[in-house]
Amino acid sequence: MEKMSLRALNEKESGRILDISSGRALGKHLAEMGFDPGSIATVINKGSSGLMVIEIKGCCRVAISTEIAEKITVEKILKE
């Protein structure tokens, strides 16, 4: 099991969310967008503007800052 921040994943890589290290307001906001422990997050795009496009739970795409992505701990899902 390889733990890392969501920010550390490359494009087209996925991880299972383990933990979110944030304040209550940010944690609630992320949960409302689907960022819950156990959910699968896939990096769609890592832009140079400091934003990442993430597909969450295989259905929704959202843009988050790399700063926020750094606070989300994931277990990298290895492709077979």
- Three-state helix/strand/coil letters over 2-22: CEEEHHHCCCCCEEEEEEECC
Give the bridge partners for 72, in sequence order.
20
Domains of the chain: 3-77 (2.30.30.90)
pTM: 0.90
Distance CA 50, CA 30 (A): 18
Secondary structure of the chain: what % helix, strand, coil (to 5)? 20, 45, 35
Is pLDDT above 80 for 29? yes
- 58's tokens: 């295989």
Give the pLDDT score at 78. 86
Res 80: pLDDT: 64
| pLDDT tens sequence across 31-73 | 999 999 999 999 999 988 899 999 998 889 999 999 999 999 9
